[in-house]
Chains A and B, each alone.
Chain A
C-alpha cells in the first residue's frame, strides 16, 4: 500500500486550553481564551476541513483534542456564553461597517469582518449546532482526521513519575473521556508538553495507546542510537511508538524571525480595534472592568518591524498563504526525496506538530495555509502523502526498538519550564495531595454513595491542580495570580474533601457546589488511583 509515494508528511495540530469555567460569575476574564480560540482557530479549522471534505479533496491530518478542551466545548453554559459573545462580535462588526462607510481604506475590511463573523455565527449555531466536538468527530468518522487524546488535564508527567498511580490516572481518565466523546479509543496521545520519561510507555500500553510524540531530541538522544534520526518512529519496550518533531518543517512555521507567520502581508496580531479605537466606542466589547483587549477586528498588516503599519489587504494575504503553502510543499518534496535516497528503502515520515491555536488566533491566515497545502499536496505533487502517525504504523509495522530519554518540547527541552524558582513551590502540595488520593483509593474500596461522590470529586480536584498550564503561566509571568489561585483552590478543595471523607463529615451542600463548578469528567471513578 502506498508504494506510489517516497514518504509521508504528518501535520499535527495540538488543540488545548486549560479548564476555565466560572459559573459563579456572570462573566469571567480567562474564559476569553476559549471564546477567542473558537472564533479564530477551531471554527476556521472546521470550516477548512469541511470545505475540503465537501469538495472531495483527499487529506489525512491528526489533531489533539485535550480532555479539558473537549469538556469546555461540550459545556452548555460556556457554549451559551460563547453564542452571546459571537452576537456581540457581529454587532460590533455592523457598527464598524457603519463607522467606516465613508472610509475608502477600511470600509472593505469592515465588510470582510462582518461577513466573516456572520458566517462563524451561522456555522456555530446552524451547521454545528453548538457542538464542535461532534463536528470534529464527524471528520474523524469520515476518515479525514485522526483525533488523539492528551493527559487528562495536561499534567506534566515527568514531574509526577514517582507516583505511578498519578501517571496512570492522567492517562486512563483521558482515554475514558475520549471514548465517551469520540466513540472510540484514541490510537495516539499527545503527551502534555511532549513530556516523556523512560517507563511512561508502559502506562500508554495499558490503555492500548499506539503512539505518542516527543520533541526531536527525544528521538535523537534515545538508546540505542536511532538509525533513521527523527524520520522514522521508535518502538518503546512495551510497544507504543515515539514520533519525533522534524526541526526543518517546524522551523518554517515556528521561527520568530523567518517563519511564515511573520510575513509583511499577513495580519498584524496586536493592532486590534479593541486597542485602537475610541474608548467609549469599544467599551461594550472589551473587558467588563473597562480594560482594553483584543476583540478580533484588526485593520493592519505586519508591514515591517517598526510600529508603522499599513492597512491589511485580505487578497494579498491570501496570495501569500498560497505561496507559503507551495513553498512548504516544495521543501517537503525535496526533503523527502533526499531522505528517501538515504534510508535504504524505508519510507521517511516528517512530523510537523504545532499548537493549533497558532493557526488562526496568532497566524490569521494559518487555516488558509492548511487549505492550500492540502489542495496542492493532493494535486500538485507525487513525492509524499499527508498521513497520520497511525497510518504510518499501519503501513510500516516494523520499526526500531529504543528508549527515548526524559524530554519535553518546552524551552530548554526538559522540565525547566515547569520546575523553576517561580513555580517549584507547587510540587510539595501536589505530591502531598497525590499521596492522600492514593491512600483514599486504597482505603475506601466500598464507599457509601455520598463518599463515592466526594472521592470522585477529590480525584477531579487533584487532576485539575496538576494542569501544566498553571506552572507554565507562573513561569512566563502572564496571568500569574490566576494560575496561583487555581493551583491553590484545587489543592484546598481536595484537602477539604480528604479531611471530610476521613472524618466522615461530608458537607453535601458544599460538595454539590464544587461538583457543579468543577464538572469535568462526570464519568470519573476515583479507583483509577488504587495502587497496583
Chain B
C-alpha cells in the first residue's frame, strides 16, 4: 500500500478514475485518494484478485479509515467553537459511512458476480469523503456542504433542468450508483434493517425489449443468458454481433439497418429513424463468411410517434352524452359540415408552440423547449400578445 503514497496526485486521480468510477471526483486531497484506493484494495496490480478475498479487507480498511477520521474530527471539533454537537454530527456521519462501507463490502463478498471493484470502491469513496468532509467542516465550525438542496426537485419541475444548473445554491448532484449517505437524509436510526442487498445486473431471461423514446429514436435493451449467447455464437467462425432493425411495410418487414455493436453493452439507442413507422429488432451472430444465426428471439414491435399535422383530413364527429357509460369502441361518427381550409390552417398555426420559439417553458420537465418543430410551423399570429404594460 505504501506504493500509493509515492505516486503523484495526478497518477492517483487517474488510478481512482479507473478503479473507483464516478465517485472519484469527490476525492480532493492526496490522502483522501490514497485512503479510498487502499480501502478498495488497490495497491498495484491486484485487479484480478477474487472478490471474496478483496471485499472483506476492503471493508475493514474502510472502517479503519473512517475510524481514524472520526477521531480526528473529534479532536478538531473540541478545539472549534462548533463544539460537541458538530463533532457528534461528524462522528455520526463517519459511523454511517463506515457502516455503509462495511455493508457494501460484505455484499460484495456474497455477490462475486456483481462487480466487486465498483461496489467496494463506491463504499470506500463514500466512507472517506463523507468523513473527511464532515471532519473538515466540523474543524472549521461550518455546516456541511456539497449535498444538493432538495429544492432542486421543485425547481426542475417548474423551471426546467437548466434552472437547476443556474441556481445560486447547489441543486444538482453527480449521478452515481453509490449509496446516499443516510446521515445526510434521516435523523435517528432506522428501526428495522431490511438488508435488501442490491439489484442484480440482469436476469438472464432472454428479454429483448424495444421502447419508443421520441419520433426518431428507439431504445433497445436485452438480457440474454450465457447459454443463449453460447448457442447463438457456437460453431461460427470469428462471429460478431449485429443488430438488425426492421420497419413494417405493407406486406411484412424491411430490414432497414444492420448495426455492428457490442453485445455486452446490453442496451442501444437507434437514432435518426423515420417518425411514425413501426419497428422491431433482432440480434444476430454473424461469422466472417456472412453466415448468421438469430440470437434468442426478436424484440417487440414499437411504433414511433409521427411529427406534424396528419396528412389525413377526415372530419368525423360523434356525440357522447355525458351520462353515457364509456367502455366500448365508438362507431365511425358522422362527417362534419363544411369548414374552410383557411380557418383550419389558422387554427393550426395558433396551436403551434413554435410561435414562441426561443423561450424555455415550464411543465413537469421543461415543456416544449426541445421539441422538433412541425413541418408546417409558422411564426405568424393574427393577434399579438400584449405585455402587462400594453393592456388596453
Chain A contacts to B: CB under 8 angstroms = 22, 24-30, 32-33, 36-37, 158-159, 162, 193-194, 197-198, 204-206, 208-210, 215-217, 219-225, 227-231, 235, 237-241, 244, 246-248, 250-260, 263, 270, 275, 279, 283, 286, 288-294, 307, 320, 323-324, 326-327, 330-331, 334-335, 338-339, 342-344, 354-355, 357-358, 361-362, 390, 393-394, 397-401, 405-407, 409-417, 419, 422, 424-425, 427-429, 431-432, 469, 472-482, 484-485, 488-489, 491-493, 496, 510, 513-514
Flag if A355 contacts B144 (CB, 8 Å).
no
Flag if A409 contacts B364 (CB, 8 Å).
yes
Cα–Cα, bound, A475→B160 (Å): 11
Q: Is B252 interfacial (CB-CB < 8 Å)?
A: no
Cα–Cα, bound, A294→B152 (Å): 11
Nearest-neighbor residue (CB-CB) of A205 within chain B:
B326
Flag if A251 contacts B356 (CB, 8 Å).
yes
Q: Is B139 interfacial (CB-CB < 8 Å)?
A: no
Chain B contacts to A: CB under 8 angstroms = 86, 89, 142-145, 147-161, 163-164, 167-169, 171-180, 183-188, 190-192, 194, 196-199, 202-203, 205, 207, 209, 211-215, 217, 219, 221, 223, 267, 300, 303-322, 325-330, 332-333, 336-337, 339, 343-344, 346-348, 350-353, 355-356, 359-372, 374, 382-383, 385-388, 391-392
Flag if B383 contacts A238 (CB, 8 Å).
no
Flag if A247 contacts B160 (CB, 8 Å).
no
Nearest-neighbor residue (CB-CB) of A431 within chain B:
B209
Flag if A432 contacts B205 (CB, 8 Å).
yes
Interface centre among A216, A394, A496 (most CB of B within 10 A): A216
What are 24 A-B contacts with C-beta separation under 8 Å?
A28-B186, A29-B186, A30-B153, A209-B326, A217-B374, A221-B306, A225-B313, A228-B347, A235-B330, A251-B356, A253-B362, A289-B143, A291-B147, A355-B158, A362-B154, A398-B319, A399-B317, A409-B363, A411-B161, A411-B370, A432-B205, A473-B153, A478-B155, A484-B180
The 8 Å CB contact of B219, one of A230, A399, A419, is A419
Cα–Cα, bound, A222→B351 (Å): 13
Q: From residue B242, how far is it (CB to closest CB) to chain A in Å?
A: 21
Cα–Cα, bound, A113→B214 (Å): 46
Interface of B is mostly: loop
Q: A193-B365, A217-B368, A238-B329 are in contact. List 16 more A-B contacts (CB 8 A).
A: A28-B187, A221-B307, A225-B312, A255-B361, A258-B359, A291-B145, A358-B362, A393-B320, A407-B305, A410-B365, A476-B152, A477-B172, A481-B176, A489-B196, A492-B197, A510-B194
Residues of B within 8 A of A205 (CB): 326-328
Q: From residue B172, how far is it (CB to closest CB) to chain A in Å?
A: 4
Known: A225-B312, A477-B173, A479-B173. A215 touches B363 (CB 8 A): yes
Q: From residue A349, how far is it (CB to closest CB) to chain B in Å?
A: 12
The 8 Å CB contact of B388, one of A209, A257, A324, A415, is A324
